[in-house]
Structures are given as structure tokens and as C-alpha cells.
Amino acid sequence: MLAMGSEEWELYPSSFIGAQVIDYGHVSGDMDDDQSGDLAVSMDAVLPDDLLEKVLSFLPVASVIRSGSVCKRWHEIVHARRQTWSKMVPQKPWYFMFTCSEEAVSGFAYDPSLRKWYGFDFPCIEKTTWSISSSSGLVCLMDSEDRSRIIVCNPITKDWKRLVDAPGGKSADYSALAISVTSTSHQYMVAVARCNQVPSEYYQWEFTIHLYESEINTWVSPFTELLIGWRGGDECVICDGVLYYLVYSTGVLVNNNEHRHCLLMYDLSIRPTHTSLMSMAIPVPCPLTCGRLMNLNERLVLVGGIGKQDRPGIIKGIGIWELRNKEWHEVARMPHKFFQGFGEFDDVFASCGADDLIYIQSYGSPALLTFELNQKLWKWSLKSPVTKRFPLQLFTGFSFEPRLDIAS
């Protein structure tokens, strides 16, 4: 994880809990003037704990972690006082980048506040093909080979928990994962949307929603619908109490004006059981590839590659839209100079985000581009330490909020 004991700490992994602690002795007030004149008294020695906590809470998370190796007192404040960090200055989401391989998952995390990359050993991920969702400091992981196996973790503290096995069995034709954390109570909900083809029926797919609530440690399956001519995929998100899920047309499209993708909405507060989500589906704004849904401060945002009119699978640009009152509004399009900056950009790319920050990365390149939603600002990250070692090497990643105050 973050290396706290090195000058080049951003490049070397180490443990959050196992930081080296220096034990400084107390300065006695009875020492004679000659001796005490040669001693320097640290400012924090005269600060009460609550003021020291307040000072540290204004630092970026990475700096707080590093400060835990200064002395025993600081170590105890950093590692043992979770409530302290609930009042920290809000942190921008980090981006964890790694290579797609069969080996153990390790990579680098990008901190946009300090514009630094940190060597990072992400807990619990065993394969790069696992489904991943994040919310308010927690990251949810679903095993690609056993879809009932789901883990929730805090990647900063390395606290993690395996949930009760999800219903629906170990496999599914398509599965999507989402997590939503309540900011006040830190309780969370996990949603798994599954879609399986009906045997011998190419155009019929059974769509099911499974929900887990941390407060009661139980799964429920409140909704099932038979989709005709549409199938689910691997993309969903929870935003402002609603589960949003992208579905894809399985029929032959007669013309390019027909919609290939639609958005389903399921109200998690009402949890209707006898209704058709497909009848209320919202078409996406244009032919898309690599459509990704994200919750940016309870605003539903869609990022996708804009397909050419005559060849929808070929990207001519990347767009960002926000859903307002069930209508899509275009927020921005990636300027051509950034689009070209990815080099060999095919129709496959990753995007994700939180707060007001969106990350975009081509699977074929470790280059990382950021977009600040409120300022409409495009910016390249600091050059990634991840290197491309062979032509067909692939890269991917996801974002998460670095927090010290939340547990799984």
C-alpha cells in the first residue's frame, strides 16, 4: 500500500497498519538551563489531542497516513480514532490503475489533489475480471467465477468483509454490481442485477434484482421481469435512491435511428414488484460504445464513445451527459486534441468517477485523462508509472474515495 517510511514513498508499497513508529521521550521541565537550551520542543507536544486531530484533518489522506509514522502519539491518533476523520476536508477520488492479466492484481493509485502516483496493493481482488463498484470510501467486488461471492472493503485501511452469498447462483449470462453508502450512518446497500437468457428463446431474457442491506445482513430479491428483444449487461449504479441499469437491443436494427441501448430505473425506496421497467425505459442520447454510468454527488452521469452514424462501433469522439427529469443533457465532449492524445484509441475504454471528477483511460494505454464536471476542465494526470511492455498489453482501472473513517 502507501509507503510511509521512504522519501520516494509514492513508489513503494507498505502496510497501513504496520508503519514504523518513532518513540520520542518527553522533555522534563526540571532540566537546567544549559541542557534545556540545546533541546528543541516540538509544537505538537503542547497541543492537546483534539487540536492536533483538527490540524491533521486538513491534510490530504496520503499525508495523514504518512504522519502516523512520526511517533506513537500520532500513530494512535491516525490509526485508532476513526471518528476523527469523519470531519476531514473532502478528498477527491483516487484512480487505481492496473494491467489486465491472470496474475495477482497490483498497480498504482493516482491522487489528483497532490498529483502523485502511489504504489498500491489493493486488498481482496484476485482477478482483473472481477466486477467493481465504489461509494463513499468503500469498494465492492464480485468474483467473476462465482457471482455469489461478494466482498466489501476499505482500500485505505484494508478493512474488508465477505458478504453472505448472493442469491441466484454462481453464474449468470450477465451481472452488474452497485454499492451505495449512507453518509450519516455508514450503512450500505449492494445491488446485483442479473440477466439470463431463457432456454431456447434468443429474444427473451430474465432480469432479476438482488439487494443486500448491511444493517440487517440479508439479501432480498424484490424484482423480476422478462425482457423481450433486450438483454442486460454489466453496467449499473445507485444514484439518489434509484438503481439505474443499462440494457441492450438483441434485435436486428432496421435503421440507425433506432435505439441500441436504454436505461432502466428501479426505485429502491418503493421497490415495486408488479410493474414493467422496460415500459418506462429511457433511450440513451446517441449510438454509444463503452457506456458507463456514474454517481457524481447524486447526479446521474453517462460517459460513452460516440459511434459514427454509418458505423456505430467506431468511435468518433467521447461524450458526457447528465440525466435531468428523465431527459439527457449533454455536458461536454472530449476535445479532439485529448482524443488524439491517447494515441491508438480503439472502441474500448474505461471511465468512472465520483464527487465531480471523471477519469477516462484507453485499455491500450496507461495514459489517464480527468474531467472536472463543475469547472468543465479537461486535464492529463501526471504520467503513470505503469509501463506498456508489449503491443497487446491492456490496462484498466477504477476510482474510489480515500477515507479513514468508514469500515466494511
The residue with cell 502496510 is 15
Q: Which percentage of the chain shows pLDDT scores above 70?
A: 81
pLDDT at position 61? 84
Alpha-carbon gap, residue 358 to 180, rounded angstroms: 18
Write down the pTM of the prediction. Answer: 0.85
Confidence of residue 343 (pLDDT cuts 50, 70, 90): low
Q: What is the pLDDT of residues 67-91, one digit of tens each?
A: 877 788 877 777 766 666 777 777 8
Euclidean distance between CA atoms 114 and 16, whole angstroms = 19
pLDDT value at residue 254: 45
Quick one: which H or E segment has residue 131?
strand 131-135
Residue with the larger pLDDT of the pair 340 and 226: 226
List Cβ neighbours of 31 (8 Å cut-off, separation of 6 or more): 39
Note whether 193 and 209 are within 8 A (CB). yes
CB 266 within 8 A of CB 277: yes
Q: With beta carbons less than 8 A apart as the criterion, state whether 343 and 361 touch.
A: no
The predicted pLDDT at position 78 comes to 77
Report yes or no: 216 and 204 within 8 Å, Cβ to Cβ: no
Asked whether the CA dihedral 58, 61, 66, 72 is positive or negative, the reply is: positive
- In this model, does residue 228 exceed pLDDT 90? yes
Tens digit of each residue's pLDDT (9 = 90 or more) over 265-282: 999 999 998 899 999 999
Q: Within 10 Å of residue 112's Cβ, how many Cβ atoms?
A: 21
Domains, the chain: 45-86 (1.20.1280), 90-400 (2.120.10.80)
Q: What is the pLDDT of residues 175-218, one digit of tens each?
A: 999 999 998 889 999 999 999 999 988 889 999 999 999 999 99
Angle 49-56/72-80 helices, nearest 10 degrees? 70
**399 DSSP β-pair partners:** 95
Amino acid 1: pLDDT: 42
pLDDT of 392 higher than 80: no
Edge-first strand listing for the sheet containing 315-324: 288-296, 299-307, 315-324, 327-333
Ranges 45-54, 126-135, 238-247, 265-274: which has the least confidence: 45-54
**Taking residues 5-27, what's their average pLDDT?**
39
CA distances for 97 relative to 117, 360, 362, angstroms: 10, 11, 11
* Confidence (pLDDT) at 332: 95
Radius of gyration of the chain (CA): 24
